[in-house]
C-alpha cells in the first residue's frame, strides 16, 4: 500500500463517443493498483455530482461543441492543476468537428427532420446550444498533456497516468499516436 498521499483525478466527456472512458475501464486489474495512488473525485464513472474546487489531474475526452462543453472545459481548467486532453476528439476535434463544414441549420435539418420517421422536429428544450465551430479542448483552454488515439489504448492511458502519479510529465507520443 502506498504511503504517499493519493492524487485527485477528475474526468469528463464532452462531445464524443465515450470510447476513451471505455479504454480507461479496459485497464482491468490495473484499476486495483490505480486506486492505491489515485482518488477519482469526479467522473461519469462515479456518483459525484460536482467538480471539487481543487483537483490534481483533470482528464477531458471529446471536443467542445456546445455551451455546456465550453463551460465544463473552462471549469476543469480553472480547478485542475494539470489538464489532459484524452483522445483524438479532444486533441483535434475529430469526428464531431466534421460538422464544421456545414451550416448549423443544415446539420439540424439532417439530424432531426430528414432522418426521422416519427414526428420530425428540431428539439427546443433541454438541449445545450451548439457552438460553431466545434473545437478541440486546447482551442478554448490551456492543455498540459495531449493523448491522441481513437481511443487511446488502455496501455497508453496507463503509461500517462503512471507518469503523472510519479510527478513526471508524460510523453504520450512514445505510447500512442493519432488514430491509434
Q: What is the DSSP letter of 63?
A: B
pLDDT in tens, 56-94: 999 999 999 999 999 999 999 999 999 999 999 999 999
pLDDT in tens, 2-56: 467 899 999 999 999 999 999 999 999 999 999 999 999 999 999 888 999 999 9
Average pLDDT for 91-107 = 96
Report the b/e string of 8-20 with b at 16+ CB within 10 A.
Answer: bbbbbbbbbbebb
Please say if the pLDDT value at position 169 is more than 60: yes
Please say if the pLDDT value at position 1 is more than 50: no
pLDDT value for 130: 94
* Lowest-pLDDT choice from 3-12, 73-82, 99-108, 139-148: 3-12
Q: Which residues have CB under 8 Å from 119's CB, separation 6+?
A: none
pTM metric for this prediction: 0.93
Question: What is the per-residue DSSP string for 70-139?
Answer: HHHHHHHHHHEEEEEEESHHHHH-TGGGGGGGS-HHHHHHIIIIIT-SSS-----SS-PPEEEEEE-GGG
Q: Which residues have CB under 8 Å from 55's CB, separation 6+?
A: 8, 9, 10, 41, 42, 76, 79, 80, 81
Amino acid at each position: 500500500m502506498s504511503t504517499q498521499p493519493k492524487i485527485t483525478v477528475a474526468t469528463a466527456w464532452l462531445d464524443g463517443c465515450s470510447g476513451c472512458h471505455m479504454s480507461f475501464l479496459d485497464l482491468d486489474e490495473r484499476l486495483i493498483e490505480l486506486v492505491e495512488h489515485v482518488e477519482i473525485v469526479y467522473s461519469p464513472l462515479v456518483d459525484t455530482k460536482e467538480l471539487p474546487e481543487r483537483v490534481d489531474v483533470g482528464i477531458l475526452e471529446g471536443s467542445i461543441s456546445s455551451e455546456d462543453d465550453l463551460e465544463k472545459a473552462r471549469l476543469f481548467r480553472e480547478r485542475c492543476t494539470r489538464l489532459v486532453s484524452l483522445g483524438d476528439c479532444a486533441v483535434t476535434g475529430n469526428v464531431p468537428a466534421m460538422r464544421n463544414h456545414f451550416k448549423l441549420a443544415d446539420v439540424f435539418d439532417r439530424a432531426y427532420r430528414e432522418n426521422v420517421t416519427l414526428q420530425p422536429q428540431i428539439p427546443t428544450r433541454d438541449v445545450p446550444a451548439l457552438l460553431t465551430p466545434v473545437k478541440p479542448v486546447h482551442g478554448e483552454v490551456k492543455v498540459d498533456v495531449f493523448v491522441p488515439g481513437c481511443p487511446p489504448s488502455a496501455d497508453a492511458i496507463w503509461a500517462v497516468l503512471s507518469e503523472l502519479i510519479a510527478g513526471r510529465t508524460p510523453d504520450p507520443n512514445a505510447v500512442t499516436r493519432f488514430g491509434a
